[in-house]
């Protein structure tokens, strides 16, 4: 048995151990803490890449905890009783997004966080959040999904509000925690219903047993409500601008990936757990319509923002709308197996990766602005391009990619979404295009206001670590923009196929046969 077999559990366990050991290393010496954090980060990324390579070359990876063999997921009678990790193309793809964002956040932290402002605490919470996200993405068990959901909720809220010497982050953390708690309870109630009905928690086993009873439908509705809220869908999105806008930059970028982990949970519930019994066109229309509503409301709300952080936050919420629209259109076309449904799925899933890189880059650039000037108020910013040349370039790249300007990556994924959503409804496609135009206008305004014009104040340049973190994301944006076919064929395609027609393979990998 090779070491790679254990990669799924190591990808979760190592950052978890890394989080709890970090304060101990700080007590010994701060440089030891930094070495430990870098080692944990590098090892976690290596494990995530190992998992992805195994999944994309060999198919679904199953890892059973406590069994004689990690692949022995079922006991006699075909019942999966232990904790099982099940990683298919979609899970592996999400792991790669989490690894990319985690790596950028960690590198940025080294240059951004100050010792006297809770550097150790922030890094500890980051590793907890990272472990929780990877756990949500790799687990094959509904209850463990809930446990990791709660791990991410607690870590995320703490990251938003750990700077207790400022009032706004604490208020944002409270609001976010209130919403996460209600959403988490909905998810837990739903899992309780399923466990009461079928006596099992394993996703594959439940998927093979659900019959579409009224209780099943209520459980699905509760999961939809809880996960759509945590994904930031309108009208339950209001916590997101508060959290993204007030969190420090290195945390805000991970919050975006955390939101996507909830979206992944939604896809898993819809395409694996309930796909056999739900009315796919109706639920698909619901998800796609919420996506269009999210695009429109978030972009219009962004128009009025004067705070750079909140403006980017609303931009991030609008991007969630594109993902919901793409995958919702795919779900609506699932029962008829129309080809454009799969194209829509690819567009929505590709946009998840694009959003992580693009919004992440903008948030990191906004962190540099805040650090350099002490404010994110657009009314008092201007001319930063004179002193922050690299940051200006990165911000402009992020703006153009987010607005879907060719030849950047945002255009490629939105192009897939526009074409396929037009087949379902021209109105949905028109809203998606309108959203992109407004988004370009909003962010062009932010760029002009903050970076162009005469120098209004001296700005402290970004540290090399902060520039390196932004450079990583910028390189990914350019690569995906110039070679979208490569990324869609090798990463996005297998992820979309795993949802589109991969349920049987998933069930067979976990349950045998």
Helix H, strand E, coil C: the string for 114-168 is: CHHHCHHHHHHHHHHHHHHHHHHHHECEHHHHHHHHHHHHHHHHHHHHCCCCCHH
Kindly state whether residue 5 participates in binding another protein, applying the rule CB under 8 A: no
Stretch that binds another protein, among 30-38, 426-434, 461-469, 475-483 (CB under 8 A): 475-483
Q: Is 229 in the site for another protein (CB under 8 A)?
A: yes
C-beta of 199: minimal distance to another protein in Å?
A: 23
Nearer to another protein, 68 or 379 (CB): 379
Contact range with another protein by CB under 8 A, out of 151-159, 322-330, 337-345, 356-364: 337-345
Residues with Cβ < 8 Å from 479, sequence gap 6 or more?
A: 487
**Which residues, 6+ apart, have CB-to-CB distance to 22 below 8 Å?**
33, 36, 37, 120, 123, 124, 127
Task: Check binding of 222 to another protein (CB under 8 A).
Answer: yes
Q: Does residue 407 belong to the site contacting another protein (CB under 8 A)?
A: yes
User: Residue 281 or residue 471: which is nearer to another protein going by CB?
Assistant: 281
- Only one of the segments 82-90, 104-112, 147-155, 410-418 lies at the binding site for another protein (rule: CB under 8 A); that segment is 410-418
Q: What are phi and psi of 177, to 5 degrees?
A: -65, -40
The token duo for 89 is 């193309």
Which residue in the set 339, 437, 464, 490 belongs to the binding site for another protein (CB under 8 A)?
A: 339
Query: Counting contacts by CB under 8 A, is residue 182 touching another protein?
Result: yes
Q: Which is nearer to another protein, 225 or 512 (CB)?
A: 225
Q: Please name the helix (run of DSSP H) or strand (run of DSSP E) that holds residue 86, with its range, or none.
A: strand 84-87
Question: String of b and e for 329-351 (b: at least 16 CB within 10 Å)?
Answer: bbbbbbeeebebbbbbbbbbbbb
- Applying CB under 8 A, what is the total number of residues that bind another protein? 70
**Which x/- pattern over 351-390 shows residues binding another protein (rule: CB under 8 A)?**
---------------------------xxxxxx-------
Nearer to another protein (CB atom), residue 154 or residue 441: 441
Q: b/e string for 76-92 if b means 16 or more Cβ within 10 A?
A: eeeebbebbbbbbbbbb
174 contacts another protein (rule: CB under 8 A)? yes
Stretch that binds another protein, among 68-76, 171-179, 253-261, 319-327 (CB under 8 A): 171-179
**Does 211 engage in binding with another protein (CB under 8 A)?**
no
> Measured from the CB atom, is 33 or 175 closer to another protein?
175
Is residue 194 near another protein by the rule CB under 8 A?
Answer: no
Question: What SS3 class is residue 419?
Answer: helix
- In terms of CB distance, is 34 or 497 closer to another protein? 497
Partnered with residue 75 across adjacent β-strands are: 79
424 binds another protein (CB under 8 A): no
Question: For the chain, what's the residue count?
Answer: 513
- Name the phi and psi angles at 61, rounded to 5: -105, 130
167 binds another protein (CB under 8 A): no
Instruction: Closer to another protein by CB, 56 or 415: give it.
Output: 415
Q: Which residues pair with 29 in a beta bridge?
A: none
Please tell me whether residue 426 binds another protein under the rule CB under 8 A.
no
- E strand or H helix at 85: strand 84-87
DSSP labels, 94-119: HHHHHHHHHHHHHHHHHHH--GGGTH
User: Which backbone phi and psi does 452 adopt, to 5 degrees?
Assistant: -95, 175
Distance CA(263)–CA(33), nearest Å, equals 33
**Contact status: 435 vs another protein (CB under 8 A):** no
Q: Minimum Å distance from CB 291 to another protein?
A: 13
Q: Is 117 in the site for another protein (CB under 8 A)?
A: no
Task: Give how far Cα 74 sits from Cα of 63, 78, 140, 266, Å.
Answer: 11, 5, 13, 25
Is 189 among the residues that bind another protein (CB under 8 A)? no
- In this structure, are residues 458 and 383 in contact, taking their beta carbons and an 8 Å threshold? no
Question: Please, what is the end-to-end C-alpha distance for the chain in angstroms?
Answer: 22
Site string (24-63) toward another protein, x via CB under 8 A: ----------------------------------------
Contact residue for another protein among 78, 196, 199, 221 (CB under 8 A)? 221
Contact call for residues 262 and 399 (beta carbons, < 8 A):
no
Determine if 449 is a binding residue for another protein (CB under 8 A).
yes
Which DSSP string do the residues of 70-82 spell out, in sequence order? TT---BTTTB--S
Residue 448 found at the interface with another protein (CB under 8 A): yes
Per CB under 8 A, residues contacting another protein are 174-175, 178-179, 182-183, 186, 214, 217-218, 220-222, 224-226, 228-229, 233, 235-236, 238-239, 241-242, 278-279, 282-283, 286, 290, 297, 300-301, 303-304, 306, 339-340, 343, 378-383, 406-407, 411-412, 415-416, 419-420, 441, 445-446, 448-450, 453-454, 456, 481-486, 488
């Amino acid at each position: 048995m090779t070491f790679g077999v254990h990669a799924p559990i190591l990808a979760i366990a190592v950052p978890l151990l890394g989080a709890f050991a970090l304060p101990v290393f700080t007590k010994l010496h701060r440089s030891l803490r930094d070495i430990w954090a870098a080692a944990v980060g590098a090892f976690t990324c290596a494990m995530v890449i190992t998992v992805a390579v195994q999944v994309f070359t060999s198919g679904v990876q199953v890892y059973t905890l406590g069994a004689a063999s990690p692949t022995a997921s079922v006991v006699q009678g075909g019942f999966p009783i232990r904790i099982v990790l099940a990683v298919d193309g979609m899970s592996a793809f999400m792991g790669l997004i989490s690894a990319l964002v985690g790596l950028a956040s960690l590198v940025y932290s080294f240059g951004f966080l100050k010792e006297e402002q809770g550097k150790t605490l922030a890094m500890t919470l980051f590793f907890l959040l990272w472990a929780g996200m990877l756990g949500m993405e790799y687990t094959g068990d509904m209850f463990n999904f809930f446990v990791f959901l709660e791990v991410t909720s607690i870590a995320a809220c703490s990251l938003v509000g750990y700077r207790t010497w400022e009032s706004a982050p604490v208020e944002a953390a409270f609001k976010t925690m209130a919403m996460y708690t209600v959403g988490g309870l909905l998810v837990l109630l739903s899992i309780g219903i399923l466990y009461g009905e079928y006596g099992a928690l394993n996703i594959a086993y439940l998927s093979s047993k659900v019959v579409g009873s009224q209780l099943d439908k209520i459980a699905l509705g509760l999961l939809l409500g809880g996960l759509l809220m945590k994904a930031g869908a309108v009208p339950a999105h209001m916590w997101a601008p508060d959290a993204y806008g007030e969190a420090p930059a290195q945390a805000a970028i991970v919050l975006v990936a955390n939101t996507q982990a909830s979206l992944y949970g939604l896809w898993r519930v819809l395409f694996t757990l309930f796909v056999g019994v739900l009315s796919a066109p109706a639920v698909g229309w619901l998800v796609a319509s919420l996506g269009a509503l999210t695009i429109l409301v978030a972009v219009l709300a962004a128009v009025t923002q004067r705070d750079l952080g909140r403006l980017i936050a609303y931009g991030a919420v609008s991007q969630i709308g594109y993902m919901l629209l793409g995958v919702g259109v795919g779900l609506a076309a699932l029962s008829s197996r129309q080809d454009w449904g799969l194209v829509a799925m690819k567009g929505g899933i590709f946009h998840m990766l694009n959003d992580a890189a693009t919004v992440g880059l903008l948030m990191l650039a906004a962190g540099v602005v805040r650090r350099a000037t002490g404010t994110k108020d657009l009314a008092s910013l201007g001319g930063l391009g004179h002193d922050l040349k690299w940051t200006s370039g990165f911000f402009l790249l992020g703006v153009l990619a987010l607005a879907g300007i060719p030849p950047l990556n945002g255009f490629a994924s939105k192009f897939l979404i526009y074409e396929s959503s037009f087949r379902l409804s021209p109105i949905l496609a028109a809203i998606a295009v309108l959203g992109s135009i407004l988004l370009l206008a909003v962010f062009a305004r932010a760029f002009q206001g903050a970076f162009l014009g005469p120098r209004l104040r001296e700005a402290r340049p970004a540290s090399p670590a902060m520039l390196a973190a932004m450079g990583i994301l910028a390189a990914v944006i350019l690569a995906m923009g110039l070679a979208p076919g490569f990324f869609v064929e090798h990463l996005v395609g297998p992820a979309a196929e795993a949802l589109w027609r991969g349920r049987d393979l998933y069930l067979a990998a976990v349950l045998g046969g």
